[in-house]
Structure 1
Amino acid sequence: MITGGQSYVSAPPAFSADGRLLLICSVRVVSVFSTSTAMLVSELEGHEGDVTAVVVMAPPPAASAAAKLVNYCWTAGLDGALIYWDFMAAEALRKVQVGLPVHSMVIPNICRTSKGAEVSTPFAFVSVEDKSKPANEEKVLRGQMRIYDLTKGRQVGGLLAETRKPENIVASTSGEFLGITNRKKLHVWRIPTKNFKAEKIRKIKLCHTKNLTTLAFHPSERIVAGGDVSGRIMIWRGFGKVKFSGENGAKSKVDDGRDGVRGEDDADICTSLHWHSSRVRFLKFSSDGAYLFSGGLEGVIVVWQLDTGKRRYKPRLGSPLLFFAESPDSSISCVSCTNNRVYLLKMPNMEVLKSIAGIKLPIASPNSGECHRVVYGFDYTNRRVAIPTEDYCIQFYDLVENTEVSEVQVCERNFQPVDDITMHISLVSLSIDGNLMCTVDVKLPEEELGGLVTLKFWNHGSNAGHYFLSTVIYEPHSDAGVSAIAFRPGRNMAVSSSLGGNFKIWVQSLSSQSSNERKYSGWRCQSVGSYKKKPMTAAAFSGDGSVLAVAAESVITLWDPDNNALVGVISEAISPITNLSFVGTSTFLMSLSQSSRPQVAVWNVSNLSMQWSYTLFVEAACCSPDGSAFAVLSLLSCPDGGAPADQDGVLLLFEAENQNPVASWSVKKARGGSISFVKGGISLDANANDSGDGETMSLVYVNSSHEYVIFDPRKNEELVSSKHKEKRIQAEESAPIGYASIYGELPKLEPTKGVSDIPFVPSDRPWETIFTGSSHVLPPLTKLCSTFLSSLLEKRTVTNE
């Protein structure tokens, strides 16, 4: 079983101490990537819930250069566990149980002793959620801030704060201050750097007129910045000079006339910066404290110069921003985007070096008042999925490698965060060999005017996952929408059905070439068909391409695709059919009705009758092109009956002739998901021979969050993430030093087992071996020369007469 598609932007990432690795929280594991290649190096598996925080241990300032290569970190998760890792060895060294879901964690006083793997007095400040309190009441305080001694594994002191929900904790670089945002206030604590005791922690509050969303501390001065929901950035200078001074922390009288400071807030001055049009997602001071980085919905990193207020930008990141992290040496940084992509930036020019791309997250429905089903295209042969994205692209994602292959821009669009959705990709279909693609994009009308449906055909390019546009057809079915697209197996032919009452068969034309070479050009309409002027709601070719099935509402019609002749009509289903698919070649046909009267039906094409049917609310279905199996993704309740948007479901596997399921699996987040068969069996052994035989196939389930699992449907195993999933991880190579950094690595000579150490072995062809071996163990030159010369001379018998 292989799992993938996890989010890389659910929590802030962290750099290793030497900046060569980037640790990213990805669901229940921590993925370790190389910053030079952006390839996966290792994974930390040990949490039973989503990982929400990773804190890398920083070396002591006085450590030598060799000791600064620290490979240890702490992680926290919703399973209530804090785990201490050697992330280079992917080994868990220690585990502390908190007992409540941890949403954020900082360790401000973390350091390392000379022994290497031991931590000296680490105290973790965690933001947890108290689930014992009701969640539906408005003023219930479910968020708590606690302190844990990581050495002894127990809580220290009482609660630092209680909030309505768990808040994100931010610590200063020096470890002296930490803070959270709580509606219109910043809560800032001063942490004792020596002889830590919980009762010595002091706290101040800084007030604002808007709800605050994020904060950041200056690396060397008493400056804290906070961003709010309106896009403003407030900067408090000299905070805590009164309340954080003195032995008893007595409250002293604050001076009057402080610019921008509200009420009794303990700060010298408060100024504001404003460029963002909406919520500020992150704030981060540069390592020297001269600049402040900010980002939000606009997809632009703004760099503020604190002394002058001037700013510069890193634009065109193409998606709203979430997190920003800087490596310890400030030579590289990273920014996390909402489209599940992490960019590695070269500082200070912020040039994009590499990107770590996951499968893009689901997009919003263009019609909030209508049920919008996400469309997926599956490449059966190459085991890829094609997903429409918010920026009008088709993302091709390798399901086995868990990496992005390419992006195809279907419609041009410049990213504008305030733009309404005016266009969406309604359909995408791939041929069974992946060489052809068809897309349908719909421009939504403005005030019931200006709508446009465009059908586009694409040919596969020379590189994997790359397609080039072949033909553009505007309004392929007059002013009606396209309900389905399907390619004919083994032929450059496709069918499109329309709610306007007809279907069209498209063929790719051949350009005139020499007799030994044929070249395909554009697509044209070969024929048009209809049935009693009923809306055509679904279409499919049989596995051998000899039969075309088109659903005219609840009636299934069978056609000869070459002559466009009606060859048969199957009796009606109980409601309009939304999906058709042949099981195997052309014997059985499966249909779905996804209305208020749902139905899954299997039809016998040879006698034009129903084989069997079920009343199920089905989200998606797929059929095996080489066998008699098909699978359906069924919801546990009616999708329009007040059920949750991410409701669970069940995956059922059938044989066409038998109405009893062969196997079933419980799945999460079924609504909005999809399934498909892909070619070739999946082996848990990475060294196993995966021949990709057409008789073996695997089943892919993609849930509504675009997380997926590939498994062998013949094995009745539970569909959960496990340590047995196949990993394709690149080994991290150490940086070359000394001679190797100048001239490259020397070849390694490994002794062969079972062979004597004597380099010279007499044989019938001694000239091939006499000079083999190290010079200090070779026989003397006199022996070598005599043997070599004698091997060149022709020997003959001399007789004495």
Structure 2
Amino acid sequence: MITGGQSFVSSPPAFSNDGKKLLVCTGATVSVFSTSTGLQVTELEGHTDRVTSVVVVPVTGPASKFMSFCWTSSLDGNVCYWDFAASELVKKVNVQLPIWSMVIPNMPNAIVQSNEKSSSLYAFLSVEDTSKSADQQKALVGQIQIFNLRNARRVGGLLAETRKPECITMSNSGEFLGIRNKRKLHIWRVPSKDFKYDEIKKIKLHHTKNLSALAFHPTERIVAGGDVTGRILIWRGFGRKMFSESLHPHSREKFRNEEERPGVRGNDDSDSCSTWHWHPSEVKFLVFSSDGAYLYSGGREGVLVVWQLDTGKKKFKPRLGSPLLYFSASSDPSLSCISCADNQIHLVKMPSVDILKSISGIKPPFAVPDVCEGLNGGVVFDHSSGSVVLRTENYCIQFFSLLDNLEASQVQVCERNHQPVDDVMVVVQLIALSRDGSIMATVEVKLPEEGIGGLVNLKFWAQGSKTGEYSLSTVIYEPHSESGISALAFRPDNCMAVTSSFGGDFKIWVNSSDVQRKDQILQKSGWRCRSVGAYKKRPMTAAAFSSDGSVLAVAAETVVTLWDPETNVLVAVIGDSFTPIVALSFVGDLEYLISVSRGSRPQLVVWNLLKLSMHWSYMLSVEAVAASGGDGSKFAVLACPTREANAREQDGIILLFEVDDPVPMSTWSVKKARGGNLAFLSSNLFPQNPNVTERRSSPLLVYVNGDHEFEVFDPHGNQSQIGRVHRKNPAVAEEPSKVRFGYESIYGELPEFDLKKDQIPEIPFAPSDRPWETIFSGPSHVLPPLTKLCSTFLESILERNTTLKD
């Protein structure tokens, strides 16, 4: 079995001590990536549930080149100690409660840990008390505990109880810990020597809104908190009463009089509190720079904001394309990473914040309007390369390799700027690929605004020299007038495609690229409509070609119409389902057809085309159906509870049928079935276990769940024949690190200066006669709202009419 598609951004990543490796939580494993190449080099397997924290053990001196250790926590209730350079599990400690966050203050050097087995090592854990029901009103299921990792015992009582498990934040020195709890910050001071539970002191800082982010200054007694409205609060001199000792021996923090505490609420233990505001929505992270001079913040806008701590001035890194989740710094001040909500991690060069490499996982699902939601319209499969193809939120199509668990490419479908804060107004509704992957078709829908301005585009794409590389061939605006497209499919010979419409017709499209001359007139190549069909003006809701392309089946609401695609002649009409048919699929050689209906009375029906009658059926809510292809007689369906249950992450079941037998051959229980899809792919696309001599011939079954996690397995149970693939490329060597000295060691390489470069002409600035060409240009975060731009735009293109008075 091959699994993949896990989220790269479920938890913050961590850099190795030398900054050459990035440890990323990916489901129940930890993937180790090279920061120089962006490729995975190894994987840590040992947990049975999602990994929530990675803490790298410090190693100093020459040993840092060959010693690499870390601690990890997981929802399975275990804390593991790893040698991640050798991918070896050294120790496992069972906490017996799901762990949502972990920090280890005052952690000794890895060399000291190996020599002093009797010394204690304390971890602060945010756990979930599973003995309490989360549905119970005001149930405090979150707990902050201390655990001795040496003897696997809990220390002292509970530090705090919260409604849900909260993330723990630790200062660089390890002296302060903090969590967010609704409108309060809980901050603890941990003794650096001779740890005793009774000596742990605590303060609370209050705010008027729920807090969402927390960060400690690296040297000064300053803490920053971000809230759900986008505000950032800076508390200076916190803990002056409770924490008598200074955070740093050279700290220049000055105490204030009791009366001089501007911005501090109530009796909070702080000298002052100031507020900054730029983010219009929730602040997702706050991180201080290594020297403490700057504060980094990010949120849903996809803009990294760099605040100067002393002045409050700010700079921006815009257009990162997705909401920001985490910011992680390495020991190298010039290297950091930003985790984005689109399952992508950017390795960035500091302080310029230039993107060096990107680690791209599979794109997560996103909410689309009901008018654009079809049967798996956003997830299809490339049978030629073994990739899953899915739509993304930024108007792209992603090709994701099932074998390598890496992004192969992206195709920009709509040339339109994407802003994460904008409402969804354009959606890639349908995707279809030819059997050999040489042609792709897409349907994009521009939603009407207040009932005005809707548009449907059908586009055909030609494959380039690489997998997932396509160039636009033909654009067809409003292919079915003002009606929406319900289905899109290619004939196996790639020279024909069909689109069906809710408006009551279907159209057959042919590629005219082979027709170069006609009556001595040069014809343009591309796709054109050859014929149109309809049946009693009923909405056409699904379409499919037979395996040999000789029959076209189109669903007209509750019946199935069979057509000759060459002559566009109606051959037969079969069936009468209870609710509209949403999917059709041929099985075998023109003998059987499967139809899927949804609604109040869902139904799965197998039709015998030779007898033009129903073969067998089930009252079953089907999410996806896949036929084995060719002359195969097997098909699989993904079934889940009815959509009226309104639970997206409900479990489901995969059933494998022989088309003649209504009793399933095999069944598998799966999770997150809502929004999932199935496909049979050739076994030749995946490696075979070298220890198995018998050659595998049957196709493999691929299941992609609602969160875009996938499994590739043999439906006949021969899992040992599938070679286990570790996501790494040993043939790709890491780029050698260049030793830098002097100026370059701090600021990087100097840019090359070319005197022959085009210089700016010495022309004085003058207002443009065409201001409408520039008023929409500029960074997204500084553009005025559209309501102001519209009036300026109209005034610039209208001629002012002046009237003379008599």
Q: Give the TM-score range, shorter chain.
A: 0.7 to 0.9
TM-aligned CA deviation for residue 441 of structure 1: 1.2
Q: Which residue of 2 aligns with 1:587?
A: 591
Alignment of 1:64 onto 2:82: no
Alignment of 1:546 onto 2:550: yes
TM-aligned CA deviation for residue 637 of structure 1: 2.7
Match of 2:436 among 428, 433, 436: 433
Distance between the aligned counterparts of 2:563 and 2:608, measured in 1? 15
Spell out, residue by residue over 1:166-213, the C-alpha distance to the aligned partner (whole angstroms, 9 max, x if none). 111000111111101111111111111111111111111111121111
TM-aligned CA deviation for residue 298 of structure 1: 0.6
Alignment of 1:35 onto 2:35: yes
Contact 2:515 2:525 in 1 (8 A): no
Matches within 5 A, 1:42-81: 42-59=42-59, 63-67=60-64, 70-81=67-78
Percent identical across equivalent pairs?
Answer: 55
Matches within 5 A, 1:229-240: 229-240=228-239
Match of 1:468 among 463, 468, 471: 471
Q: Which residue of 1 aligns with 2:699?
A: 697
Cα distance change, pair 690–278 in 1 and its aligned pair in 2 (3 A): farther
Spell out, residue by residue over 1:96-138, the C-alpha distance to the aligned partner (whole angstroms, 9 max, x if none). 1111111000001111253674575321000011121121233
Deviates more, 1:223-232 or 1:267-276: 267-276
- Kindly provide the amino acid, as one letter, of the partner of residue 500 in structure 2: S
Contact 1:254 1:264 in 2 (8 A): no
Q: Which residue of 1 aligns with 2:485?
A: 482
Aligned partner of residue 114 in structure 1, secondary structure: helix
Matches within 5 A, 1:655-666: 655-666=658-669
Cα distance change, pair 253–289 in 1 and its aligned pair in 2 (3 A): closer
TM-aligned CA deviation for residue 458 of structure 1: 1.0
Spell out, residue by residue over 1:37-72, the C-alpha distance to the aligned partner (whole angstroms, 9 max, x if none). 11111111111111111100113xxx4234465400
Q: Which residue of 1 aligns with 2:413?
A: 410
Q: Which residue of 2 aligns with 1:601?
A: 605
Distance between the aligned counterparts of 1:666 and 1:363, measured in 2? 24
TM-aligned CA deviation for residue 255 of structure 1: 1.4
Q: Which residue of 2 aligns with 1:180?
A: 179
Q: Which residue of 2 aligns with 1:362?
A: 365
TM-aligned CA deviation for residue 366 of structure 1: 1.7
Matches within 5 A, 1:265-304: 265-304=268-307
Alignment of 1:675 onto 2:678: yes
- Kindly provide the amino acid, as one letter, of the partner of residue 267 in structure 2: E
Contact 2:18 2:64 in 1 (8 A): no
TM-aligned CA deviation for residue 573 of structure 1: 3.0
Aligned partner of residue 659 in structure 1, secondary structure: coil
Cα distance change, pair 507–738 in 1 and its aligned pair in 2 (3 A): closer
TM-aligned CA deviation for residue 9 of structure 1: 0.5
Aligned partner of residue 124 in structure 2, secondary structure: strand
Cα distance change, pair 239–583 in 1 and its aligned pair in 2 (3 A): same
Cα distance change, pair 157–113 in 1 and its aligned pair in 2 (3 A): same
Q: Which residue of 1 aligns with 2:578?
A: 574
TM-aligned CA deviation for residue 463 of structure 1: 2.0
TM-aligned CA deviation for residue 631 of structure 1: 3.4
Which ranges of structure 1 fall in alignment gaps of 5 or more residues? Answer: 740-801
Spell out, residue by residue over 1:286-316, the C-alpha distance to the aligned partner (whole angstroms, 9 max, x if none). 1111111110011011111112222111111
TM-aligned CA deviation for residue 370 of structure 1: 8.2
Q: Which residue of 1 aligns with 2:15?
A: 15
Cα distance change, pair 723–78 in 1 and its aligned pair in 2 (3 A): farther
Distance between the aligned counterparts of 2:543 and 2:375, measured in 1? 19
Q: Which residue of 2 aligns with 1:325?
A: 328
Deviates more, 1:357-366 or 1:630-639: 630-639
Distance between the aligned counterparts of 1:691 and 1:296, measured in 2? 53
TM-aligned CA deviation for residue 246 of structure 1: 7.2
Distance between the aligned counterparts of 1:171 and 1:155, measured in 2? 20
Q: Which residue of 2 aligns with 1:394?
A: 397
Contact 1:144 1:161 in 2 (8 A): yes
Q: Which residue of 2 aligns with 1:26?
A: 26
Distance between the aligned counterparts of 1:582 and 1:572, measured in 2? 18
Q: Which residue of 2 aligns with 1:797?
A: none
Distance between the aligned counterparts of 1:600 and 1:529, measured in 2? 26
Aligned partner of residue 199 in structure 1, secondary structure: helix
Q: Which residue of 1 aligns with 2:137?
A: 138
Alignment of 1:3 onto 2:7: no
Aligned partner of residue 328 in structure 1, secondary structure: coil
Q: Which residue of 2 aligns with 1:708?
A: 710
Match of 2:111 among 108, 111, 114: 114
Distance between the aligned counterparts of 2:738 and 2:169, measured in 1? 40
Contact 1:501 1:535 in 2 (8 A): yes
Cα distance change, pair 520–117 in 1 and its aligned pair in 2 (3 A): farther
- Kindly provide the amino acid, as one letter, of the partner of residue 609 in structure 2: V
Cα distance change, pair 376–369 in 1 and its aligned pair in 2 (3 A): closer
- Kindly provide the amino acid, as one letter, of the partner of residue 697 in structure 1: P
Contact 1:18 1:69 in 2 (8 A): no
TM-aligned CA deviation for residue 678 of structure 1: 1.4
Distance between the aligned counterparts of 1:219 and 1:302, measured in 2? 19
- Kindly provide the amino acid, as one letter, of the partner of residue 427 in structure 1: L
Distance between the aligned counterparts of 1:318 and 1:459, measured in 2? 26
TM-aligned CA deviation for residue 716 of structure 1: 6.8
Distance between the aligned counterparts of 1:368 and 1:155, measured in 2? 54
Matches within 5 A, 1:152-171: 152-171=151-170
Match of 2:653 among 646, 650, 655: 650
Distance between the aligned counterparts of 2:141 and 2:585, measured in 1? 49
Deviates more, 1:323-332 or 1:561-570: 561-570
Distance between the aligned counterparts of 2:74 and 2:205, measured in 1? 29
Q: May I ask how many residue pairs the two structures share in their alignment?
A: 725
Distance between the aligned counterparts of 1:491 and 1:520, measured in 2? 19
TM-aligned CA deviation for residue 570 of structure 1: 2.1
Distance between the aligned counterparts of 1:681 and 1:529, measured in 2? 39
Matches within 5 A, 1:250-269: 255-269=258-272
Contact 1:254 1:266 in 2 (8 A): no
TM-aligned CA deviation for residue 591 of structure 1: 1.0
- Kindly provide the amino acid, as one letter, of the partner of residue 708 in structure 1: F
Contact 1:560 1:566 in 2 (8 A): yes
Contact 1:17 1:70 in 2 (8 A): no
Contact 1:427 1:440 in 2 (8 A): yes
Cα distance change, pair 685–462 in 1 and its aligned pair in 2 (3 A): closer
Distance between the aligned counterparts of 1:185 and 1:347, measured in 2? 32
Cα distance change, pair 686–256 in 1 and its aligned pair in 2 (3 A): farther
Contact 1:358 1:403 in 2 (8 A): yes
Please tell me the root mean square deviation across aligned C-alpha atoms, in Å.
2.8
Distance between the aligned counterparts of 1:37 and 1:116, measured in 2? 31
Aligned partner of residue 578 in structure 1, secondary structure: strand
Alignment of 1:535 onto 2:539: yes
Aligned partner of residue 264 in structure 1, secondary structure: coil
Distance between the aligned counterparts of 1:618 and 1:551, measured in 2? 17
Distance between the aligned counterparts of 1:367 and 1:489, measured in 2? 30
Match of 1:449 among 447, 452, 462: 452
Distance between the aligned counterparts of 1:96 and 1:620, measured in 2? 42
Spell out, residue by residue over 1:258-304, the C-alpha distance to the aligned partner (whole angstroms, 9 max, x if none). 12112211111211221111110001011111111110011011111
Aligned partner of residue 61 in structure 2, secondary structure: coil
Cα distance change, pair 490–691 in 1 and its aligned pair in 2 (3 A): farther
TM-aligned CA deviation for residue 392 of structure 1: 1.3
- Kindly provide the amino acid, as one letter, of the partner of residue 162 in structure 2: T
Distance between the aligned counterparts of 1:319 and 1:668, measured in 2? 27
Match of 1:93 among 90, 94, 100: 90
Q: Which residue of 2 aligns with 1:743?
A: none
Contact 1:58 1:70 in 2 (8 A): no
Alignment of 1:190 onto 2:192: no
Larger radius of gyration: 1
Cα distance change, pair 737–439 in 1 and its aligned pair in 2 (3 A): closer
Spell out, residue by residue over 1:297-355, the C-alpha distance to the aligned partner (whole angstroms, 9 max, x if none). 11011111112222111111100000010111212100101000000001121111111
Spell out, residue by residue over 1:739-790, the C-alpha distance to the aligned partner (whole angstroms, 9 max, x if none). 9xxxxxxxxxxxxxxxxxxxxxxxxxxxxxxxxxxxxxxxxxxxxxxxxxxx
